Amino acid sequence: MNFIGTELPDFQVNAYQDGDVHAVTTQDLLGHWSILFFYPADFSFVCPTELGDLADHYAAFKAQNAEIYSVSEDTEFVHQAWHERSPEVGKVAYPMLADPAGTLARHYQVLNADLGQAYRGVFILDPAGKVRSYTINDMGIGRNAEEVLRTLTAAQFVAEHGDRVCPANWHKGDATLKPGTDLVGKL
């Protein structure tokens, strides 16, 4: 299934954030850009490096009107225990969503039901809750927060400037392209 342009499902899950547990619903992801960052499991090996990397770049995501939501099949209480014990995960200030029923993982088809774990999916949603970019990696392949941030920036640019597109390795301030017959065969 292609998820580009698809909308968030109706959902409610618990989240651990800033020493507290609170509910997160579909409505909470609307009105700003959202990064749904699925990962296999708490107390694992690659996952804390990824969540720590996102935490190190959290201010940059917030500066771009984006919220990060990490998501695994663990409960909010396991998230809390991991947050309290892992130096990398202890840096996390964004909501850590608990999806033990697999509601979000099933919707975005990243759930490995045999393992009860999610593949490493990144879904970038616009303020209307529509997917504008996504990638899915196998369990052992870690991701890079700077690339997620770069992709968010490009998605925001394209959303704002619908007649322009971002070439490979584009970063904010770089030249963009305006599709047209004058470019055919010249790139």
The one catalytic residue in 47, 68, 125, 154 is 47
What lies within 8 Å, CB to CB, of 57 at 6+ separation is: 145, 146, 149
Contact (CB, 8 A) for 124 and 134 = yes
Residue that has been written with the tokens 């045999």 in this structure: 114
Phi/psi for 13 (5° steps) reads -135, 165
Q: Report d(CA 44, CA 28) in Å as an integer.
A: 28
Strand-pairing partners, residue 36, are: 69, 123
Q: Report d(CA 60, CA 91) in Å as an integer.
A: 15
Nearest to 133 by CA among 118, 119, 150: 150
166 is catalytic: no
CA distances from 121 to 112, 142, 166, 171 (A): 12, 10, 22, 22
Active-site positions read 47
